[in-house]
A and B are shown apart, each in its own frame.
Chain A
């Protein structure tokens, strides 16, 4: 009896720790977004050291670039700890593999970050770095989902009914992920914004349909309803942030550095985009039940 309660306690802390990783990753995505928005990506010309040091003076844009590197280091350590913890806990083999995959993704992400510095922001590498960041975020969301103390693995015999939000959730996730690729391309190259705007309406339509279906047929699942409402509200807000980002980066003239309003719109559009993707990933997992 004592050992069972010990297990419950450990599981609870493991879950809490995975939530910490989710939060830290979202903060890291914001920090990375601020590096791009402030055009600070090349303020430190070397990598992995910064001006040959572990800790350079945090003056000017070095603050943003080196700050991003430090938060990234912290997230990598958190991921390592969580992955090892999951192995020790003797969780399901697929969950162990997922944890290793997350660790692999964060290491690859660090290497890509290094390449953006050493090759002076080649668009392909920057876009890949941006997309892998949010893919890694989805990994952390999935880990937290599976580590929830009340998580029950899906029954293999489960039937998929017409009311199941399963497929619709997956399509919504796919559209949002495609939006991520388009958005990153606009941000890191001179790629046109038109496809991103067109796909925004498709995302909007799917998020609306998904929310309606969840509210109509799954009202008893309070967590799923909350996630659907959060996704809907965030998507509406995301449209406005996107318009703001477009106006500031593609329409207005500006001085020697991006104005605070531009930094706000571009960085928040990017970070909320990650949150939207994460929420839709969570809904996909939840809808499998």
Chain B
């Protein structure tokens, strides 16, 4: 009788856990004077230069006008141990457009396909530099070309670069779970459907480094977690 009671309890708790999930939201504040934007000189490749009418700046320290930080990768670092998650079949997309990577920072799950596109009428090489899995360097000389890659192991972060156009850089956070987000043009992020529990959240920025915070997601639902980078 006692056994059945515990089994029922366990069954209910397992079933209920996705139902009471909450969203984790927040903003990446930037404290200090934003660095002077560095202009990108695309004249070495006329196709790149002609793709832009406005000046282009490097993305490594993109501070938004509301003094928040863009391109911060936010993810659950601890608290999901022992759980397994389905690998998404839908591909994440990394596009090369106007001789820039789109997105500049993104998340992907282990073994999820990454589709790399070349939308430009020029040549790019996609140089993926994971340390946990095999490094690769692929030529993409034709407009409209697509390649697919996978990462077999989690890694924070996998760097991509184009050696033809030295300003081109992208970063992917490879995770075993789907709980990640990237801050946007207003410094905001949102991690949806996070099951209740205690977590360590890590924030990663290519120039300003990493920081962690602890958070508890209760049954009540949504939770806010802001953080600040000093410039």
Contacts and interface: CB of A to CB of B under 8 A. Distances in A.
Interface of A: 38-46, 51-52, 56-57, 59-63, 120, 255-257
A45 B127 CA distance: 9
Interface string B137-151: 111010000000000
Nearest to A256: B167
B15 interface: no
A120 B166 contact: no
B123 A59 contact: yes
Given A60-B44, A120-B135, A39 B166 contact: yes
17 contacts: A39-B166, A41-B163, A42-B125, A43-B164, A44-B125, A45-B137, A52-B139, A52-B141, A57-B122, A59-B44, A59-B123, A60-B45, A60-B48, A61-B163, A61-B164, A256-B58, A257-B166
Interface in B146-199: 163-167, 169
Contacts of A257: 166-167
Top 5 A-B pairs ranked by shortest CB distance? Answer: A60-B164, A257-B166, A59-B45, A43-B163, A45-B137
B40 interface: yes
Given A45-B139, A51-B139, A256-B58, A62 B123 contact: yes
B103 to A, nearest CB: 18
Nearest to B169: A256
Nearest to A53: B141
Interface residues of B, number: 24
Interface of B: 38, 40, 44-48, 58, 60, 122-123, 125, 127, 135, 137-139, 141, 163-167, 169
Contacts of B169: 256
A120 B137 contact: yes
Contacts of A38: 166
Given A41-B163, A60-B165, A61-B163, 19 more contacts: A42-B127, A42-B163, A43-B164, A44-B139, A51-B123, A56-B123, A59-B44, A59-B46, A59-B122, A59-B123, A60-B44, A60-B45, A60-B122, A61-B166, A63-B44, A120-B135, A256-B58, A256-B166, A256-B169
A59 B166 contact: no
Given A42-B163, A51-B139, A60-B44, A256 B123 contact: no
A52 B169 CA distance: 24
A127 B135 CA distance: 20
Nearest to A42: B163
Name which of A44, A62, A63, A256 has the most chain B CB atoms within 10 A of its CB: A256
Given A46-B139, A256-B167, A59 B47 contact: yes
Contacts of A57: 122-123
A52 B145 CA distance: 15
